Structure 1
Amino acid sequence: MQQLILPILLASFWTVCTGTGDWCYQSQFTCEHQCKVPDEWSHVNSNCGGKQQSPINIVTRKTLKDENLTPLQFTNYQQSFKGTIKNNGHSVQVGVSHLSTISGGDLPAVYKALQFHLHWGNNGGPGSEHTIDGEQYPMELHIVHMKQHYTDLTTALADPEGVAVLGFFYEKSNSANRKYEPIISALQSIKATNANTSLLPISMAQLIPSEKNLTSYYRYKGSLTTPGCTESVIWTVFETPIPLSMDQLKAFSDIKFHDGKPMVRTFRPVQPLNGRQVFRSGSAMTLASSALLGAAITMALGLSQHN
Structure 2
Amino acid sequence: MASRRVCLLGALFAVLSVAIEGHSASSEASVASTARRQLKAQPHEYNYIRHGADWTGLGQCGGNAQSPIDIVTTELVDPSEEGVERGVSGASFNDLPTATLTDVKVNLEQDMKFSFAVPSDISLPTITIGEVEHKFTPLQVHFHHFASEHTVDGMEYPLEAHVVMQSDQDENQLAVLGILYKYGEEDPFLKKLTDAALTAINQGDASYGSKEVPLDVTINVREDLLPSKSLDYYGYDGSLTTPSCDEIVKWHVFTTPRTLSVEQEKVFNDATLKAHADAYTTNNRIIQPKNGRSVYIYNSPRSTIRATYGIAFSTGSTAASAFGKFQAGTRLGCSNCDSFTSEERDFILGVQNRAMQGTNALAAVISDIVIQGKRRSLLQQTIADLTITYTFDSSANADPEGAVRRLSNDVLKDSTNGLADVDLKTTEDLTPGGASSIRVGLGLLMALVMSLVLTL
1:135 partner SS? coil
Q: Deviation at 1:298?
A: 10
Q: Deviation at 1:172?
A: 1.1
Structure with bigger gyration radius: 2
Contact 1:76 1:101 in 2 (8 A): no
CA distance in 1, matches of 2:337, 2:194: 44
CA distance in 1, matches of 2:268, 2:102: 22
2:333 aligned partner: 297
Which of 155, 172, 179 is equivalent to 2:189? 179
Q: Which moved more, 1:252-261 or 1:127-136?
A: 252-261
**Structure 1 pair 213/102, CA: closer, same or farther in 2 (3 Å)?**
farther
1:282 aligned partner: 299
Which of 235, 249, 257 is equivalent to 1:241? 257
Mapping for residues 135-150 of structure 1, pairs under 5 Å:
135-149=155-169
1:82 partner SS? strand
Which of 268, 271, 274 is equivalent to 1:252? 268
Which of 37, 45, 50 is equivalent to 1:22? 45
Cα distance per residue 1:112-146 (max 9 Å; x no partner): 0111111001xxxxx11000000100000101111
- Superposition CA RMSD, Å: 3.2
Q: Deviation at 1:244?
A: 1.4
Which of 191, 198, 206 is equivalent to 2:223? 206
2:245 aligned partner: 229
2:383 aligned partner: none
TM-score by length of 2: 0.49
Give the unaligned 5+ runs of structure 1: 1-16, 28-36, 122-126, 151-155, 285-295
Q: Deviation at 1:177?
A: 2.3
Which of 52, 67, 77 is equivalent to 2:65? 52
1:103 aligned partner: 125
CA distance in 1, matches of 2:238, 2:267: 30
CA distance in 2, matches of 1:76, 1:139: 21
Which of 25, 38, 41 is equivalent to 2:52? 38
2:106 aligned partner: 85
Aligned residues: 249
Cα distance per residue 1:249-287 (max 9 Å; x no partner): 221111135641365111001100011011111369xxx
Contact 1:209 1:240 in 2 (8 A): no
2:178 aligned partner: 167
Give the unaligned 5+ runs of structure 2: 1-21, 23-43, 81-88, 302-331, 343-456
1:288 aligned partner: none
Q: Quick one: higher RCO (CA 8 Å, sep 6+), 1 or 2?
A: 1
Q: Deviation at 1:209?
A: 3.1
**Structure 1 pair 302/172, CA: closer, same or farther in 2 (3 Å)?**
farther
TM-score by length of 1: 0.70
Cα distance per residue 1:6-54 (max 9 Å; x no partner): xxxxxxxxxxx9xxx8201127xxxxxxxxx5111122x2300000000
CA distance in 2, matches of 1:98, 1:72: 14
1:33 aligned partner: none
